[in-house]
Structure formats: structure tokens, C-alpha cells
């Protein structure tokens, strides 16, 4: 039966009841954004707020998907089981290679819900749609919700800001740990994974991370009461996956017992509100740029009768003189 004729309210009712196809449709709506996405949000945001949102990030090819496939299998289904949102820079459209190529779907807990979102063709909206998608999945009863993103650039850091627990994956060789540091991933990491620990140089990667953590400890991390653990993993063989799971659970307990979970979610809400307001304002500005008023301001700036700064101020504060 097709779900196309259903209203958003009906889709939400079905999704909350565990209908996976309805969940899929809602995710498509959230990914498109706009008024319908907001309607979905209104109906779902109060549900599933207990779900643990886990961000997994790292360089392209670090083995994130392979590890996530293993992790999904390791998470015993508490309710409807885990869900994954994979932000996939390489897939042309959704439905590209999602989980690691060598860990076959058959090995993965079939109760998991896997969603791939392509970054290609997205401009800024992705960082906003991913937290929304995570909320839909949580509302539908999936727990934990795992978000996989490539750890380069601002969008990815934005997306990891949507997580309760952030796992940063590095690999032996090529100064991965140093790169992670440069990309600002050291501060956001709650747990480090040295994946591909079967390859030479794994202990060097571990030592690099320890050194950098030592240094950043001096300059001060967000949560000084806790040093992020470093877990050695071979995702192909499935070694170390239980330890990653253990570290994730330990971090969740830490957040709960120290009241940091609510503080993190407060910060997240603030951040998401800011991102949404900024995007809406950018769109508003872009529309403005095509009006005759702005064309006249451009001429004034060119003629030297108005400075760019004062013209800009008139753009965002049209009522100010
Ligand atoms: N030797 C070894 N290879 C691994 C391990 N984990 C993953 N790989 C391989 O590394 C390659 C990349 O794995 P993916 O899981 O697709 O990596 P990814 O980080 O998800 O890649 P992107 O999503 O494209 O950034 C694949 O060929 C994997 O088989 C590991 O623990 N050891
Ligand atoms: Mg991947």
C-alpha cells in the first residue's frame, strides 16, 4: 500500500507506532525542509527525548561505516533497536554505499534503521536536517541514534554538535591525529577510536593522541573532569567493538550522573536555534539583494555617497537610520 495519500499527522501516528515505511517518508520530508518539515517537527519533537544520540566522525575512509556496522550489531535492541543516519559525501543520491563494504548487511542486526543522506547538492541545510532526522528516529523509538559524518569542514562539526556523545575515528599513519587536531575534532571528542589497529603504526597514532590530549589538558577542555578514552579497534575483524560500546555507555552514564546531559542539550538547542535563524536570515538577505532598494544602495556605495558598512547595516536593520 502506498503512503503517499496520507497526511503528515497520519504518517507521524504510524511512525510513532513503529511503521518503518512511515519513518522513511517522514525523513524525506525533514530532509527537504520547509513548512512540511516544520509540521513533522511539531508533532515529533516531544517524543523519544531519552534516546542517546551518538556522533561518529573522522577523515574520509577512516572506516567509520565499517565500525558503525559492527557497533549496530553490538547494541542489543533495547526498544526498536539502533538507527543510523550516514551523511555520505560520495553517494550521488541516497541509497549509495551505506555501511562498510566488508561487513555485510546480513551480519548487522536487522532491527536497525539505516538512512543515508548525500551531501552533494545540499547547501547549508544539511546541518539542520540531520538533527531533525535524529529526532524523528528517536520519536519512532530507535535508541541509540548514530550519526556518521566525515570530519572535515564546518558542516560536519555542526552535525557532531547534534550528538550527546561524539566518537572521533583516526587511523594509523598519515598524521591522522594531527589532522584531527587541526580540524578542531580534539575538543569535540568524547571518545577516540584508533581504527585499523591491525595496520602498522597503530600504537604511534595512540601515542600522538595521548600527547595532544596532554597538551590540550593544559589549555583546558570543555569537560576537565574526564579524559576521553582511546580505544583500539579492528573493524574488519570486529575487535575492540565491545570496548567502543562500553566507552559510549560509560560516557552516557557520566553525562547523566554529572547533569551534563541536560547542559549539553541546552547548548545544542541554543546552537540549533542560532543555525536556523542564521539560515533564515541569509535567505532573507539573498532575496533582498534583488530588490530595487538594494540596487539603489549599490549605486550609492559605488558613487561614494554611502559606505559599504552603513549600507550593510541598513540591510539587517532596515528601520535604523
Ligand atoms: N585494515 C583495516 N581496514 C579497514 C578497517 N575498517 C575499515 N577498513 C577498510 O577501510 C575502507 C574504508 O572503510 P569505510 O568504512 O567505508 O570508511 P568510512 O570512514 O565510512 O569512509 P567514508 O564514509 O567514505 O568517509 C574499506 O575498504 C574498509 O574495508 C580496519 O579496522 N582495518
Ligand atoms: Mg562511510
User: How far is the centre of ligand 2, averaged over its atoms, from the C-alpha of 63 (Å)?
Assistant: 7
**Of all atoms in ligand 1, which is nearest to the CA of residue 235?**
31
Residue pair 214/228 in contact (Cβ under 8 Å)? The answer is no
Q: Which of 162, 161, 144, 175 is nearest to 59 (CA)?
A: 175
Span 250-290, pLDDT tens digits: 999 999 999 999 998 998 888 888 888 888 888 889 998 88
Ligand 1 neighbours, Cβ below 6 Å, are 58, 60-66, 90, 100-102, 150, 195-196, 198-199, 234-236
**Secondary structure (3-state) at 308:** helix
C-alpha cell of 227?
579524559
Contact 128, 279 (CB under 8 A): yes
**Strand-strand pairing, 113-118 and 145-150:** unpaired
Nearest 10 degrees: CA dihedral of 277, 278, 280, 283?
A: 170
Write out pLDDT tens, residues 146-175. Answer: 999 876 655 556 667 789 999 999 999 867
Minimum CA distance residue for ligand 1 atom 27: 101
Between 185 and 230, name the one with better pLDDT.
230
The residue whose C-alpha atom lies closest to atom 28 belonging to ligand 1 is: 63
Name the pTM for this structure: 0.87
* Res 97: pLDDT: 47
Let me know if 66 is exposed, middle or buried by CB neighbors in 10 A (0-12, 13-18, 19+): buried
Query: Of 34-43, 112-121, 140-149, where does mean pLDDT reach its minimum?
Result: 112-121
Is residue 135 within 8 A of residue 48, CB to CB? The reply is: yes
pLDDT classification of 49: cutoffs 50, 70, 90: confident
The answer to whether residue 185 scores a pLDDT higher than 80 is no
Name which residue sits closest to atom 3 of ligand 1, judged by CA.
196
pLDDT in the model for residue 12: 96
Instruction: Please check the confidence at residue 207 and state whether its pLDDT lies above 60.
Output: yes
Confidence category of residue 108, pLDDT binned at 50, 70, 90? low
CA 200/CA 238 separation, integer angstroms? 18
* Cβ(149)–Cβ(65) below 8 Å: no
Residue nearest to atom 8 of ligand 1 (CA): 63
**Could you tell me the domains of the chain?**
1-44 (no CATH), 49-258 (3.40.50.300)
Q: What percentage of the chain carries pLDDT values higher than 70?
A: 80
Q: Dump pLDDT digits (tens) for 111-133.
A: 788 888 876 555 556 667 888 99
Is a pLDDT exceeding 50 seen at residue 92?
A: no
For residue 236, report the distance from its CA to the centre of ligand 1, in Å: 8
For the ranges 27-41, 111-125, 218-232, 275-289, the maximum mean pLDDT occurs at 27-41
CA torsion sign for 170, 175, 181, 187 is positive
Asked if 190 contacts 228 with a C-beta cutoff of 8 angstroms, the reply is: yes
Amino acid at each position: 500500500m502506498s503512503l503517499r495519500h496520507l497526511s503528515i499527522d497520519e504518517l507521524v501516528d504510524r511512525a510513532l507506532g513503529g511503521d518503518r515505511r512511515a519513518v522513511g517518508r517522514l525523513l524525506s520530508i525533514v530532509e527537504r525542509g520547509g513548512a512540511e518539515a516544520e509540521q513533522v517537527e511539531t508533532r515529533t519533537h516531544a517524543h523519544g527525548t531519552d534516546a542517546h544520540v551518538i556522533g561518529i566522525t573522522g577523515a574520509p575512509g577512516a572506516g567509520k561505516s565499517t565500525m558503525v556496522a559492527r557497533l549496530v550489531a553490538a547494541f542489543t535492541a533495547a526498544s526498536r533497536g539502533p538507527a543510523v543516519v550516514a551523511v555520505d559525501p560520495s553517494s550521488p543520491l541516497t541509497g549509495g554505499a551505506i555501511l562498510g563494504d566488508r561487513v555485510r548487511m546480513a551480519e548487522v542486526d536487522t532491527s536497525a534503521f539505516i538512512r543515508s543522506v548525500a551531501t552533494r547538492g545540499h547547501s547549508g541545510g544539511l546541518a539542520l536536517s540531520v538533527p531533525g532526522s535524529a529526532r524523528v528516529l528517536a520519536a519512532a523509538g530507535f535508541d541509540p541514534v548514530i550519526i556518521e559524518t566525515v570530519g572535515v569542514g564546518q558542516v560536519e562539526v555542526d552535525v557532531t554538535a547534534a550528538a550527546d556523545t561524539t566518537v572521533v575515528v583516526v587511523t594509523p599513519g598519515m598524521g591522522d591525529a594531527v589532522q584531527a587536531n587541526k580540524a578542531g575534532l580534539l575538543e569535540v571528542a568524547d571518545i577516540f577510536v584508533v581504527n585499523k589497529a591491525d595496520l602498522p603504526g597503530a600504537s604511534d597514532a595512540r601515542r600522538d593522541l595521548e600527547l595532544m590530549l596532554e597538551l590540550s589538558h593544559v589549555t583546558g577542555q570543555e569537560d576537565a573532569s574526564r579524559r576521553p578514552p582511546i580505544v583500539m579497534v579492528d573493524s574488519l575483524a570486529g575487535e575492540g567493538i565491545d570496548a567502543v560500546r562500553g566507552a559510549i555507555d560509560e560516557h552516557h552514564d557520566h553525562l547523566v550522573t554529572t547533569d551534563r546531559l541536560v547542559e549539553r542539550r541546552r547548548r545544542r538547542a541554543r546552537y540549533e536555534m542560532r543555525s536556523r535563524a542564521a539560515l533564515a536570515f541569509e535567505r532573507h538577505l539573498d532575496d533582498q539583494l534583488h530588490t530595487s532598494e538594494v540596487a539603489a544602495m549599490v549605486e550609492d556605495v559605488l558613487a561614494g555617497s554611502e559606505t559599504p558598512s552603513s549600507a550593510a547595516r541598513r540591510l539587517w536593520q532596515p528601520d535604523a537610520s
